Chain A
Amino acid sequence: MKLPLAIASLVVFAVHGVVFYDQFFHKWERYQTAYFDQVRTQTKSDAERNEMNGRSPRIEQIIVTSFGDSRVDRCTTCHIASDDPRFAGHAQPLKTHPYLKELGDVQRNGVWERRHKFNDFGCTVCHEGQGRGLSEHYAHGEDHYWPEPLLGYVTQEPWRKDLLPGLKGKEYMQAACAQCHSEENFAQTPVLNRGRQLFFESNCYGCHRIEGMSDGVLGPELSEAGKKFKIDYLTESIVDPRAGMASSFMPKFNLSPADVKALVIFLKSRRGVNLTETSLSVFRSRLHDAASVSDTKPVAPGAADVVARGKQLVEDRACAACHKIGDKDGGIAPDLSFEALMKDNEWLVDHFKNPRGRMPDSIMPAFKFAVADFEAMTAYLATLKTPPALGAPADTYKALCARCHGDKGDGAGPVALYIDPSPRDLTKVAFMNSKPRDRFVASIQKGVHGTSMPAWEKVLNEQQIQALLDHVESTFVKEKRRELKARKVPEKNPVASAKDSIARGEQTFLARCTGCHGRKADGKGPNSLDMLPHPRNLRNHPFVASLSDQRLLESILYGVQGTAMPPWVDYGLSQREAGDLVNYIRSLTQASARPQLRAGR
């Protein structure tokens, strides 16, 4: 028993020894002693020499109260020479902080004077890092958990070595400058200004909201991006948007490393509240400029060539970041290469002004460009009339259909993820064989309203369409068409649309339909996630308006084969109830169509 007791006691003593050593022999004490020694040997004044003789190492700290929450900066404990001009040539940590004209430092009679005095500003206001730390690891914010590592010097997670060199550099500190110098185009923060410019040039603002700057709703709000995210995360999100979230539909923009850095610095400067603002001043300014700012330079009307200007605008504003135009392909949105053959000018202008007015589930941001710009861009798109060269039906399918419907016809083309309602799965035999061929021909010729299916009649003639359908049937459907059962569905809704009919329809809808179509009838009911194709958004007014009563009644009473929509006659739904439902559904779109159309004008 005595041996283990002795060993254990020894361990206890040994650990005490180590802990006490750590406690009483700090690195920073050595730095301070070295500083005192150097000053003693260099100084010419006896007073200073005596002062240094009397000094022993101690924790130095600056308490900063003027900039946001009060900070305790103990950085000068190690960097004790930071304000001593004699140490300009020394190595860190005993190095003088440089005097820089850009920072507003001035030289008077050969003596530099700082604009940002350390006693007022501390260190972390500009450099970030953890002011309270006394060891390099914690103070510089190398600790994985510290949200604000030293800007431009320390990165915590070298998870992608290729990004690492871009994450270092003094420029990153401009994000901290902007915490007080928030005015646009502040001359001392050129990289940040470039980032702000890029935020508009690269269409970031179309999707992302930053308070007081942009109103995009498609992407995450970035008003406080600088507070929430570290520069490594911001950089990765721009360079490779899907690295962090596989379901992100943010396009991968082709930006130069310098531009990425500028954007990151701009985003890092977005922290909601500014260090010089109080919540009261923010509230006041919000009251005053409630009107949102349009940061795009309007093109002067009457310029020489509207089409050329439109082309310029389409290129400048990076439409091809999402769309395909000629050789450029963003891989997100439909092909615009021969847009004039599919859409008329009115549709295009409407769609520019309010993308959801014509296609209620479009993900295209509503850009706040000048109307003249929209018209110029439309004028340019209206010149894209060259039909694509077409060959055999299989090649036609590849060239025109596969982008949405997929090479395998399963509705999973490269852009299908971004298209809502999703492209039809042409391999679903039950659906394909339950609809008359005429309907498919009509869908191809005229398009499907309220969806991304355009009208192909100016690209394909009747013969080509028939050949294409044959190709689809033989390659994807693969089953012989059966005789369609004749169903007794009245052509016109037998129930007249009236208040009580709509009210009855609403009750039936709430009882039977909300599980899939949702309480708002927007197709997002609780069961909808597991269903492919997703339930229809019944508030899609162009789509609903394009349907005849007969087709709506048929879909309700006899179901839609190949989808989750069941034949409701089997569940005891009477024709009168179906009629009430049709009236209810139509009442929804009539109510919702009006404000959206007004927004589009």
Chain B
Amino acid sequence: MSANTKVTPRENVWRDLPRNLWSSIFRHPLPSSELGQAQTSFTNFFLHIHPVKVNRHTLKATYTFGLGLISLFLFIALTVSGVLLMFYYVPSTTQAYDRMLDLRGSVAFGTFLRNMHRWGAHAMVAAVFLHMCRVFLTGSYKKPREFNWVLGVVLFLLTMFSSFTGYLLPWDQLAFWAITVGTAIAGYAPFVGDKIKFLMLGDTQVGQEALLRFYVLHVVVLPMVMTLMIALHFWRIRKDGGLSRPPEADIAPGTEAMSVQVIASPAPKQSFGLMGIVRGPFTKVGNVPENTVSAWPHLLMAELLVFVLTIAVLLVVSLLFHAPLEEPVNVMHPPNPAKAPWYFLGLQELVSYSAFWGGVGIPGIEVLLLILAPYLERKPGGTGRWFAKERLLPNTLFVTFAVVNIILIIIGTLFRGPNWEFVLPW
């Protein structure tokens, strides 16, 4: 009571409670000035991953097509829908399929969640692949972004592995035989193939042990590793000065090229502290006329658009197409042909010619080449433009590899019938 008497008459606890609460959570009012925008970005946890200012080139839709963001948003959508599905799923060979039937029949929104998760997973594999194509074809992995490319390749592999492990969980014929085929491909590795297969399955064939392993990998291990990798991926984007762009994108139209030289002035010793360590051309030193706009609202609006578009497409697809659920597992009755998930059908097609080269040799070489690409292509130039003339050779090689893989996947998906014989899909 005594505390109450000390309150100055101008302050009313109850009347001001909402405002006090609001301003304690959001330190700044909706920004109206550039300073406010910068402050908001800087102090908000969810926004601080953004730079305060962002280059105009980065916002060009035809440069990135938002593919990295689409991948991220799909990852988030998959996490949310996946967690909701986990409330109903039991990784047991006797219960898993019944749980699928329950999800389809009687769980509220069960069908829709499953559809979202299924199609989202397929879309994410595709989006991550296209994102990788974008980064390669614009030469974005050149110095200093080499290692971030490596992280990206690892994320691509993790995405495929996540999708693959999730494939088994419905425990229907499709799941069982796709994983049987997929793990058989791993078994073709020399010397360690059988051991790898046994490690993945916990048994000599797909069964309860494999289901439990794939479940744990799918819902705990892989998402955690991927979250960490995504954080590293983003951190490096910031530290490397934002997205790649051609050197001329840093010069505002109508300004003199000479202003770039100002950047080269030595970093101040005391007053800027940590900021002085930041390398690269984006150091906020001096009053450089940069070709930038505020991240708030320009970058945020762009991200919001990509988010809403991604979710809208995912929702519509999930509404129109149901995730397949085939017969309950019948170990004695393999479908003919038994096919791996579509993104591995290129490998399966290769395996049909040669088990070792298709299953291990060629994919191994391809992954190795992908990882080494930024260390093999050392010639500077051509960064930040699609199909730059200077990079004709690497681009041609990459496109060839990508197209061959896509053709193999198309053949494996559509043109292969019983006994893996060639059939026409119509």
Contacts and interface: CB of A to CB of B under 8 A. Distances in A.
B325 A15 contact: no
A74 interface: yes
Interface stretch (A42-50, A127-135, A282-290): A127-135
Contact of A1 (B101, B102, B302, B311): B302
Given A8-B305, A132-B101, A19 B312 contact: no
B320 to A, nearest CB: 10
B326 interface: yes
Contact of A15 (B172, B304, B309, B316): B316
B328 A147 contact: yes
Interface string B317-341: 0110000111110000100000000
Q: Of residues B304, B308, B318, which shows the largest number of chain A Cβ atoms within 10 Å of its Cβ?
A: B308
B108 A135 contact: no
A4 B305 contact: yes
A228 interface: yes
Contacts of A146: 327
B301 interface: yes
A11 interface: yes
Interface size class of A (residues with CB under 8 A): 20 to 34
Given A1-B302, A5-B304, A12 B315 contact: yes
B112 interface: yes
Interface string A525-552: 0000000000000000000000000000
A588 B172 CA distance: 49
Q: Interface of chain B, helix or strand or loop or mixed?
A: helix
A18 interface: yes
B106 A74 contact: yes
A476 interface: no
B301 A1 contact: yes
Contacts of A12: 308, 311-312, 315
Contacts of A139: 105
Contacts of A463: none
Contacts of A228: 333
B308 A9 contact: yes
B80 to A, nearest CB: 14
Interface in B213-232: none
B146 interface: no
Nearest to B101: A132
B309 A133 contact: no
A72 B109 CA distance: 20
Interface in B61-111: 98, 101-102, 104-106, 108-109
B312 A11 contact: yes
A279 interface: no
B108 A145 contact: no
Contacts, number: 65
A138 interface: yes
A145 B98 contact: no
Contacts of B333: 228
A16 B319 CA distance: 10
B250 to A, nearest CB: 24
B98 to A, nearest CB: 7
Contacts of B105: 74, 132-135, 138-139
The 3 closest A-B pairs by CB, nearest first: A15-B315, A132-B101, A11-B312
A228 B333 CA distance: 8
Interface residues of B, number: 29
Given A134-B105, A147-B327, A228-B333, 16 more contacts: A1-B301, A5-B305, A8-B312, A9-B312, A18-B319, A19-B319, A23-B109, A72-B98, A74-B105, A74-B106, A132-B101, A132-B105, A135-B105, A138-B104, A139-B105, A145-B326
Contacts of B309: 4, 8
B106 A5 contact: no
A392 interface: no
A278 B172 CA distance: 26
B327 A130 contact: no
15 contacts: A4-B305, A4-B309, A5-B304, A5-B305, A11-B316, A12-B308, A16-B315, A74-B106, A132-B98, A133-B104, A134-B106, A145-B172, A146-B327, A147-B328, A228-B333
Contact of A5 (B173, B308, B319, B324): B308
A398 B155 CA distance: 73
A19 B106 CA distance: 14
Contacts of B108: 23
Q: Of residues A16, A23, A130, which shows the largest number of chain B Cβ atoms within 10 Å of its Cβ?
A: A23
Contacts of B304: 5
B160 to A, nearest CB: 26
A430 interface: no
Contacts of B312: 8-9, 11-12, 15
A60 to B, nearest CB: 11
Contacts of B172: 145
A132 B100 CA distance: 10
B301 A145 contact: no
A76 B191 CA distance: 57
Contacts of B102: 132
A59 interface: yes
Contacts of B173: 145
Contacts of A145: 172-173, 324-327
Interface in A123-153: 130, 132-135, 138-139, 145-147
Contacts of A130: 101
Given A132-B106, A135-B105, A15 B327 contact: no
A133 B308 CA distance: 33
B322 to A, nearest CB: 10
Contacts of B319: 15, 18-19
Contacts of A138: 101, 104-105
Nearest to A77: B106
A191 B243 CA distance: 75
A23 B172 CA distance: 25
A8 B315 CA distance: 11
Contacts of B101: 130, 132-133, 138
Interface in A1-41: 1, 4-5, 8-9, 11-12, 15-16, 18-19, 23
A59 B109 contact: no
Nearest to A22: B112
Contacts of B308: 5, 8-9, 12
A130 B328 CA distance: 12
Contacts of A5: 301, 304-305, 308
Contacts of A23: 108-109
Nearest to B320: A15
A154 to B, nearest CB: 16
B106 A59 contact: yes
A138 B325 CA distance: 11
B315 A11 contact: yes
Contacts of B315: 11-12, 15-16
A138 B322 CA distance: 13
B28 to A, nearest CB: 24
Contacts of A1: 301-302, 305
Contacts of A11: 312, 315-316
B73 to A, nearest CB: 12
A147 B316 CA distance: 30
